[in-house]
Amino acid sequence: MSFFFEVLLGGLLAGVMYSLVAIGFVLIYKASGVFNFAQGSMVLFAALTFVSLLERGISFWLAFVLTLLAMVALAWTIERWVLRKLVNRPPITLFMATLGLSYIIEGLAQSLWGAQVHGLDLGINDEPFEFQGMLLSQFDIFAACVAGVLVLVLSVFFNKTRTGIALRAVADDQLAALAVGIKLEKLWLIVWTVAGFVGLVAGLLWGARLGVQFSLSLVVLKALPVLIIGGFTSISGSIVGGLIIGASEKLAEVFLGAYIGGGIENWFPYMLAMLFLLVRPTGIFGERQIERV
């Protein structure tokens, strides 16, 4: 039984790592109703910039701040040269734009900093420690705490402030949002900056785990089932979704793997997401849109 809980807890903690990536998607989806295909590239861009600065002898916090500034500059550029031109276009247009952006950012990151693999040491011990007879990863616990703080801060920001309400308004109807005096440009800049910040945090944690390299941008694929289960519009949903995915994939791997073969972990989340789509297409916390036909 203790083994079961060890697997469960390990899975939950791993799931939080997915949530970190998913939150970035939720932010942009809330502001423009669009799945931001470029989120993975932003994670890569942030991690690569940070680690390259670090390797040039810049201190941790200075590198963090500089990378953050780079993310703000990136957000500004995207808003100014892409989003602003696409006000009031259908979501599919915006989605295609993020697809293009994804490749541009990826290319930019690698032409700036090179394509080799970098190790990233955040100074957190990744050796497991024992807790009540269970082996847990210190690193995962650290990541979970970071995610917790991040969610708390973002929830307060988006639920209690005018920016949060404005965000929901913009996602629903851009023209009407403009007419009530919401500054779309400013809002988009804020959201993309915050998404860049979340990307940076996710990039650091994932980078420390997998190494900073191109495949970091593929981590986002695991965020997809998280989003489907948690709902595209809810920050807390992406945490719950992450926990469900993390726990279920590990449990499936360990307990089902013995019967139907290993490697379940890789496809189980997608199957779970598909089942969710059948039962609850908006996800657990997603907003239910009522559309009159």
Partner 1 sequence: MTARNPLLTLEHISLSFKGVKAITDMSFSVAEGEICALIGPNGAGKSSLLNVINGVYQPDDGIITYDGEIRTAMRPHHAAERGIARTFQNIALFKGMSVLDNVLTGRNLKVQSSWLEQAFNVGRAPKEALVQRQKAEEIIEFLRIQPWRGSLVGGLPYGLQKRVELARALAAEPKLLLLDEPMAGMNRDEKAEMSRFIVDTQREFGTTIVLIEHDIGVVMALSQHLVVLDYGKKIGDGPPEAVRNNPEVIAAYLGTRH
The distance of closest approach from Cβ of residue 68 to partner 1 in the complex, given in angstroms and rounded to an integer, is 18
Compute the distance between CA of residue 284 and CA of residue 287 in angstroms, rounded to an integer.
9
Query: 212: which strand partners?
Result: 118
Give 186 or 255: the residue with its C-beta nearer to partner 1. 186
Name which of 183 and 255 has its Cβ closer to partner 1. 183
The two tokens of residue 182 are: 């919401």
Q: How many CB atoms lie within 10 A of CB 272?
A: 19
Binder among 58, 72, 284, 287 for partner 1 (CB under 8 A): 287
**Residue 74 beta carbon to partner 1: minimum distance, rounded to whole angstroms:** 22
Of 93, 161, 215, 266, the one binding partner 1 by CB under 8 A? 161
Please answer whether residues 26 and 91 qualify as being in contact, where contact means their C-beta atoms are separated by less than 8 angstroms: no
Residue 59: alpha-carbon gap to chain centroid:
26
Check binding of 291 to partner 1 (CB under 8 A): yes
From the list 53, 28, 30, 55, the residue with the least C-alpha distance to 42 is 28
Bridge partners, 131 (sequence order): 134
Of the pair 171, 272, the CB lying nearest partner 1 is at: 171
- Residue choice 92, 260, 290, 293 for contact with partner 1 (CB under 8 A): 290
Q: Let me know the angle formed at the C-alpha of 17 by 279 and 194, rounded to the nearest 5 degrees.
A: 95
**Range 174-203, binding partner 1 (CB under 8 A):** 175-184
Is residue 172 within the footprint of partner 1 (CB under 8 A)? yes
The rounded distance, in Å, linking the Cα atoms of 286 and 236 is: 10
* C-alpha dist (Å) from residue 95 to 33, 99, 215, 291: 9, 6, 22, 22
Tokens of 248: 């279920």
Position 163 contacts partner 1 (CB under 8 A): yes
Q: Which two tokens stand for residue 184?
A: 């779309």
- CB of 17 vs partner 1, minimal distance in Å: 27
Q: Which of 55, 121, 126, 173 forms a contact with partner 1 (CB under 8 A)?
A: 173
Is the separation of the CB atoms in 12 and 183 below 8 Å? no
DSSP secondary-structure letter at 33? S
CB of 65 to partner 1, least distance (A): 20
**CB of 184: closest distance to partner 1 in angstroms?**
8
CB of 156 to partner 1, least distance (A): 5
Taking the least distance from each CB to partner 1, the nearer of 263 and 281 is 281
Query: DSSP assignment, residue 91?
Result: H
The region of 49-57, 66-74, 120-128, 155-163 touching partner 1 under the rule CB under 8 A is 155-163
Q: Which residues form the interface with partner 1 (CB under 8 A)? A: 156-157, 160-163, 165-166, 168-169, 171-173, 175-184, 287, 289-292
